């Protein structure tokens, strides 16, 4: 166990090997951690558990440190299996422990374990005294599951925020003041962009609500990655910024290509943007890590998406990317489509339509050329980049 603050201890697991999360959906190049916390006041409180592959290690650690039978209550902030997955190991030893969770949390726990345990349902503002400290609960519904909850430990004034403010980041230290802040922010933003973006309107409201509660937050301890010990509100402010159509003023040109014709067009469009002093990045969607790519698109102000046509559609990397952009509700960016074609040429119209459906503002008609673009056609690509830049 590692001391977090006063009588709050970290009792989680660091997963240095993790490279994919949510099945195979999300890349986690820097591993992750499953942060469980133990509060040793007059009552001994366990807040969250760890992912089930680590259940034996976790239970053994708790047994050695405090004895599972000595745990007086459990708070399950969120029952996704990376946090609630080891609950059964604790309940096997101490089956009557009161479990504090939201109403949705109790339903979710029942659906995972098919057990009727001693559930105590809490709502925002409910308080439980555990001795010198009080636990104050704040519902975090859909940030990012229906059951999500945060627990504020009044006394040490630590907010145990679960997934909110977390990062998939196995780090040198448990605290933000002792790690590489560039790595930390990269992972915090990647987490937000890939997991939390669909809930941005709720996050904005929730942050306003939390600020309104005037909790004297001295530390924010999420359930993945490092604890915000130095200036903890910095990540709350960042979330507030990210939740409101965040962009950094540059353009992402994303393409897939079979024989480099579409790639050549992408490079010419980039020249056009540069001519007007607008910065851009180029990504070949077929060879770029999908989660990293979505993180970049989250930051961009404009998306220019290209593919050649194959089988009356765009290439598969672009079709699936457009689906993810829509599902993540990445919207309110400027968009345009381009690409090469051989005979039927549907890809560019499909891309434009999908961008529109995702909530992008289309500012250029699709630009398409047959087979390899000529010098004159590449000039038209440059002009398209220039016009796009002018509208940004
Ligand atoms: Fe870290 Fe929603 O699981």
pLDDT of residue 173: 97
Which whole number is the average pLDDT over 109-136? 97
Residues 61, 152, single domain; the answer is: yes
- Please check whether residues 272 and 377 belong to one and the same domain: yes
3-state secondary structure of 109: helix
- Domain end call among 242, 273, 302: 242
Owning domain of residue 256: 252-391
pLDDT of res. 384: 98
Q: Is 139 in the pocket of ligand 1 (CB under 6 A)?
A: no
CA of 295 to the centre of ligand 1 (A): 18
> What does the pLDDT read at residue 114?
97
Please list the helix, strand and coil fractions of the chain in percent, rounded to the nearest 5, in that order. 40, 25, 35
Q: What is the DSSP letter of 69?
A: G
Q: Pairing relation of β-strands 313-314 and 280-284? A: unpaired
Check if 163 has its Cβ closer than 6 Å to any atom of ligand 1: yes
Active site residues: 22, 78, 80, 82, 144, 163, 191, 224
Same domain assignment for residues 304 and 201: no
Is there a domain that residue 247 lies in?
Answer: no
pLDDT grade, residue 179 (50/70/90)? very high
215, 242, 269 — which closes off a domain? 242
* 225 is a domain residue: yes
Compute, in angstroms, the gap from residue 163 CA to the centroid of ligand 1.
5
- Same domain for 347 and 221: no
Q: Do 211 and 261 belong to one domain?
A: no
Is the distance from the beta carbon of residue 83 to the nearest atom of ligand 1 less than 6 Å?
yes
Q: Among residues 222, 242, 262, which one ends one of the domains?
A: 242
Specify whether 169 is located in the same domain as 51. Answer: yes
34 lines ligand 1 (CB under 6 A): no
State in Å: Cα 205 to ligand 1 middle: 20
Whether 77 and 127 share a structural domain: yes
With a 6 Å cutoff on the Cβ, whether 377 touches ligand 1 is no
How many domains, the chain? 2
Residue 350 falls within a domain, yes or no?
yes
Atom 2 of ligand 1, nearest CA residue: 80
Q: What is the mean pLDDT of residues 338-361?
A: 97
Q: Is residue 126 part of a domain?
A: yes
On whether residue 275 sits in a domain, the answer given is yes
Band (77; pLDDT cuts 50, 70, 90): very high
pLDDT given for residue 22 in this prediction: 96
CA of 9 to the centre of ligand 1 (A): 20
Asked whether residue 110 is assigned to any structural domain, the reply reads yes
CATH number of the domain encompassing residue 56: 3.60.15.10
Q: State whether the beta carbon of 15 lies less than 6 angstroms from ligand 1.
A: no
User: Quick one: 231 and 276 in the same domain?
Assistant: no
First to last CA, the chain: 51
Question: Does ligand 1 come within 6 angstroms of the Cβ of 145?
Answer: yes
Confidence of residue 378 (pLDDT cuts 50, 70, 90): very high
Judge whether 229 lies within some domain. Answer: yes
Encode pLDDT of 119-130 as tens digits: 999 999 999 999
Average pLDDT of the chain is 97
Judge if 282 and 374 occupy the same domain: yes
Is the minimum distance from the CB of 263 to ligand 1 under 6 angstroms?
Answer: no
The CATH number assigned to the domain holding 261 equals: 3.40.50.360
Q: Is residue 32 part of a domain?
A: yes
Ligand 1 atom nearest residue 145's Cα? 2
The residue contributing the CA closest to ligand 1 atom 1 is 163
- Average pLDDT of 36-50? 98
Element (H, E) at 201: helix 200-213
In tens, the pLDDT along 83-100 reads 999 999 999 999 999 999
Is any ligand 1 atom within 6 A of the Cβ of residue 78?
yes
Rama region for 389: left / alpha / beta (φ>0; ψ in -120 to 50; rest) = alpha
Is 309 found in the same domain as 238?
no
The residues with which 47 forms a beta bridge, in sequence order, are 37, 75
User: Measured from the CA of 224, which atom of ligand 1 is nearest?
Assistant: 1
Same domain, 164 and 289: no
DSSP string, 368-385: EEESS--HHHHHHHHHHH
Ligand 1 centroid distance, CA of 316 (Å): 29
267 and 326 share one domain: yes
Ligand 1 geometric centre to CA of 139 (Å): 15
Closest ligand 1 atom to Cα of 223: 1
């Amino acid at each position: 166990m590692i001391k977090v603050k006063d009588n709050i201890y970290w009792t989680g697991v660091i997963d240095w090997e993790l490279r994919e999360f949510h099945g195979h959906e999300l890349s986690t190049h820097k591993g992750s951690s499953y942060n469980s916390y133990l509060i040793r006041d007059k009552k001994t409180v366990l807040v969250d558990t760890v992912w089930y592959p680590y259940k034996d290690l976790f239970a053994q650690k708790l047994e050695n440190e405090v004895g599972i039978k000595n745990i007086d209550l459990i708070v399950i902030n969120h029952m996704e299996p990376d946090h609630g997955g080891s609950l059964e190991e604790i309940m096997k030893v101490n089956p009557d422990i009161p479990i504090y969770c939201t109403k949705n949390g109790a339903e979710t726990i029942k659906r995972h374990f098919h057990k009727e345990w001693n559930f105590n349902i809490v709502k925002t503002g409910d308080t439980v005294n555990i001795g010198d400290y009080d636990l104050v609960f704040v519902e975090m519904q859909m940030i990012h599951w229906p059951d999500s909850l945060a627990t504020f430990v009044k006394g040490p004034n630590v907010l145990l925020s679960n997934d909110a403010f977390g990062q998939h980041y196995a780090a040198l230290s448990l605290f933000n003041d002792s790690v590489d802040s560039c790595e930390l922010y990269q992972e915090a933003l990647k987490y937000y962009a890939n997991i939390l973006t669909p809930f941005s309107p709720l996050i904005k409201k929730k942050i306003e609500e939390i600020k309104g509660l005037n909790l004297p937050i001295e530390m924010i301890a999420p359930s993945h990655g490092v604890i915000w010990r130095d200036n903890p509100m910095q990540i709350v402010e960042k979330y507030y910024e990210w939740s409101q159509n965040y962009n950094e003023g540059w353009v992402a040109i994303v393409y897939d290509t079979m024989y480099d014709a579409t790639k050549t067009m992408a490079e010419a469009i980039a020249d056009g943007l540069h001519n007007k002093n607008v910065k851009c990045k180029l990504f070949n969607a077929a060879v770029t890590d999908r989660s990293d790519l979505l993180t970049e698109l989250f930051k961009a102000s404009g998306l220019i998406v290209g593919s050649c046509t194959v089988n009356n559609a765009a290439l598969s990397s672009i079709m699936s990317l457009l689906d993810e952009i829509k599902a993540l509700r990445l919207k309110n960016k400027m968009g345009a489509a381009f690409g090469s074609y051989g005979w039927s040429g549907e890809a560019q119209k499909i891309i434009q339509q999908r961008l529109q459906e995702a909530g992008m503002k289309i500012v250029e008609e699709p630009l398409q050329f047959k087979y390899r673009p000529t010098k004159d056609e590449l000039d038209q690509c440059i002009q398209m980049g220039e016009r796009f830049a002018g509208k940004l």
